[in-house]
Amino acid sequence: MLLSNRSVVLSLTVILAAALARSALAFTAAPSAATLRSVISSTATTRSSLFLSSEDFTQETPEATKERIEALIENHPVLLFMKGSKLFPQCGFSNTASQILNSFNIDYHTVDVLSDEAIRQGIKDYSQWPTIPQLYVCGEFIGGSDIMIEMYQTGELGEMIEKAKADMI
Amino acid sequence: MSSTSPRVPSFPVTESIRQKLADAFHPQVLEVINESHMHNVPKNSETHFKVVVVSEQFDSIKSPLQRHRLVNAALATELEGPVHALSIVAKSPAQWESNQSIPASPNCKGGDGSLPKKSSAS
């Protein structure tokens, strides 16, 4: 921990030194803590203006969220709204759902609702379904992980996925 | 079949779920399983549930999606409130006769910012 802190300070010092050199202030031998803090805070400001935070999505109107959801459903023949990602599911039920889809060897799309608050609520309203995960195949709402397990076992889900594969080509 | 859930007043959500499912489906088999202990929530929480409903009403409703929608609708108040996760087994008596297995619920993966239960593997 100490080591990594030191290396962060070191790299910041390098950045700072470059900045100082540019502004012809290279004679300032050691940067003060206050200067370092200002560099750190300006870096942080840049980050937050470059990337969308979850707050940006909560300000979206319900209509705009619905349009985003509809575009996702239209563009992805096999679409899973889940908590986390395929590689790092953040919920056991979402993990079950993605494991089932993995077994079909298809390139399905996922939406992480934990990183998108508007969709997290919006998809529940859109599907009239209270829980996550939610699976859409060829624009049709299939259900959550319980239903996926059931339809996987009966072979129905496999048939649907085969049809979706044809859509992907 | 008798339930494994405690029938004491200190579990009001469990009781409410049981009552509403009994009223809505007149089930032959009804189990309300509080699985909250599998998740990183305070002891005796009522947040994660599995319900098993075996009802003649499902004879005429073949689609699992429609069955689950009916169960969700019966428990809409709970799902909007304290209940965070609901796993549903909804079967007709004939289906239940041929297969009485209840799928095990998956391990918690710590979504919603909560951490996986400490005792779980990995």
Contact A134/B at CB under 8 A:
no
Residue B8: left (phi > 0), alpha (psi -120 to 50), or beta? beta
**Average pLDDT over every residue of B95-115:** 78
* Largest Cα span, chain B: 44
Percent of chain A with pLDDT over 70: 66
Query: Quick one: pLDDT at residue A1?
Result: 42
Note whether residue B106 is domain-resident: no
A142, A136 contact by CB (below 8 A): yes
Could you tell me the two tokens for B110? 């710590």
Type of residue at A165: K
Domain that holds residue B70: 28-97
Distance CA B35, CA A65 (A): 32
Query: Quick one: pLDDT at residue B108?
Result: 76
Quick one: which of A120, A7, A23 has its CA closest to A69?
A120
Gyration radius of chain B over CA positions: 15
Tell me: the pLDDT tens digits for A66-87?
A: 999 999 999 999 999 999 999 9
Name the more confident of A25 and B34: B34
B61, B67 contact by CB (below 8 A): yes
Question: In this complex, do B111 and A141 lie within 8 Å of one another by their Cβ atoms?
Answer: no
Could you tell me the two tokens for A138? 């060829």
Query: Quick one: pLDDT at residue A55?
Result: 54
Note whether residue B121 is domain-resident: no
Assign domain A62-168 to a CATH class.
alpha beta
The CA-atom distances, in angstroms, between B45 and each of A93, A109, A160, B79, B116 are 19, 34, 38, 14, 16
**Average pLDDT over every residue of B25-42:** 94
Note whether residue B83 is domain-resident: yes
Note whether residue B11 is domain-resident: no
pTM: 0.74
Which residues are B90's β-sheet partners?
B53
Contact A110/B at CB under 8 A:
no
Tell me: the pLDDT tens digits for A16-56?
A: 444 444 444 344 444 444 444 444 444 444 444 455 555 55
Number of residues written out for chain B: 122
Note whether residue B12 is domain-resident: no
ipTM above 0.90 for this complex:
no
Note whether residue B63 is domain-resident: yes
Query: Quick one: pLDDT at residue A18?
Result: 43
Note whether residue B109 is domain-resident: no
| Range 136-155 of A in CB contact (< 8 A) with B | 141-147, 149-151
Name the more confident of B85 and A2: B85
Question: In this complex, do A150 and B64 lie within 8 Å of one another by their Cβ atoms?
Answer: yes
Give the start-end residues of each E strand in B35-81: 48-54
CB-CB: which of B80, B103, B109 is closest to A89? B109
Least confident of A27-36, A60-69, B10-19, B85-94: A27-36
Least confident of A48-57, B4-13, B75-84: A48-57
B2 confidence band (pLDDT: 50, 70, 90): low
Could you give the number of structural domains in chain B? 1
Question: In this complex, do B64 and A151 lie within 8 Å of one another by their Cβ atoms?
Answer: yes
**Whether residue A3 has pLDDT greater than 80:** no
Burial B26-64 (b: 16+ CB within 10 A, else e): ebeebbbbbbbebbbbeeebbbbbbbbbbbebbeeeeeb
